[in-house]
Structure 1
Amino acid sequence: MRKFNVNLDQEMNVLAVAFANGDQEAGNKFVEKIQPLMKKYASKIYSPLEKEDLAQEFVIVAIEKAYDFAERYNDGKNNVLGLIYTACKRKLIDISKALGAEKRSLYKDREVSLQAMIGEDGDMTMAEKVASDMKSVEDQVTGKLNENALSQVVSDFVLNTKGRNSKIVPLIYSATKYDWDVELLNYEIGKVIKEETGSIPNNDAIRQAKSRAMKALRKAIEAGNITVANKLEWEL
């Protein structure tokens, strides 16, 4: 069992509760302290993701668990760090499963030779496809900057948002980044709604929840509440 520094446990518990109750300064300090912990944890474990990406995923999880701790587990028996690390382990399993399923669907019963014919009409070899998809160094750098900025946008949104939207937006981000199928995304959103309402939502409720979450993110950006969004390079 992972053992934590008692003083750090207590400090993070206090910050998590204050953060969940709307103290922005406490929220900033919570994130400031959790980021190096998540980076260190991500660097020690195997993951199909790059370590920086995984650490950012863990920070989002940590912010979510701060709210859960304040609302459900602040009973003197639990610590927010314990909840965070447990949730991060589950997150890693979910990521691995999603990527594993994607790889299996891509390569099952498929010739992997670079001369294998692919494409909708079977008129392009794997080698030609790789060559056509190669990006310039400038494009790769811009893409990486946008990816990092978008990840920070999601983190800032979660940091400044309460309720189901703060949990659904990260799911949509992960679904887009890791190319989840619609069924997996809807299943994960359904779990968020069920946890809140106690009942299993239908497809229409999930669709509406997804739409509201994205509208909330858009409004936050348009209102200037997420300044890091200005770093994104938009294609006009």
Structure 2
Amino acid sequence: VNSRWRLFFGKVVTDLVPVSRRRQKLMDSVSTYKPLCSSVSRVRVLLVGPVGAGKSSFFNSINSVFRGHVTSQAMAGCSATSLTTQVLHKTQDISSILKGHMPDCYLSHGYRASPELKDKIHCVVFVLDACKISIMPEKLEAKLTAVRRKANLLGIPQLALVTKVDEACPIVKDDLTSVYKSPYLKDLVSLLHARLGLPLSCVLPLKNYSEELELHVPVDILVLSALLQILRFADNYFDDVTDRANNCDTK
């Protein structure tokens, strides 16, 4: 191997090692995560977004990362009705869902009269297609804003996942690791911040597995980073609940 190729391969190896380590660190953090509140065994997250934005694909991408191969357990697509099983049918139901009155697949399971902390939603995640944020209908914006308002009243943290970043930006399509360097995506995040009022730090770029047949480390990192941030936000919720309980006990 001549010196030019030796330098090339050397650079590739050097660049890949930190990326692989970062992926493993994220995997370890998510795998060993336990909710701060001992009465809660798992975090309950409500994914909210229009049809085809990537809610089911996000679930499938998480599943793929931990299974070690691309899989599709939750049906994903862009049909006229959402293919997500736990779908938000009526905006007026949102308070009951957030408070834990509605079990999973609630349409066939009735109403939970006295929900415990483990039954409540611990984090709300808005899922939006990067290619459609600039043309978001006012009706959709109003619905998402209504969800935010009700979640705020209950002290539930929220963040947004901006999906399909590779389709929205040619630079990112060529190099997914440049996602945080894209001026176009930066403008999209700012636009979403303006329309929904979410802090810039609460808007995360995402590339789900869709057409891929094999796992790709940069995709894994975006998926795991989003998941870890969701878990951290849930812990913030548990902290607030504990603080409120302690304040009541001291009064």
TM-score by length of 1: 0.22
Q: Which of 1 and 2 has higher RCO (CA within 8 Å, sep 6+)?
A: 2
**Greater strand content:** 2
Question: Which structure shows the higher helix fraction?
Answer: 1
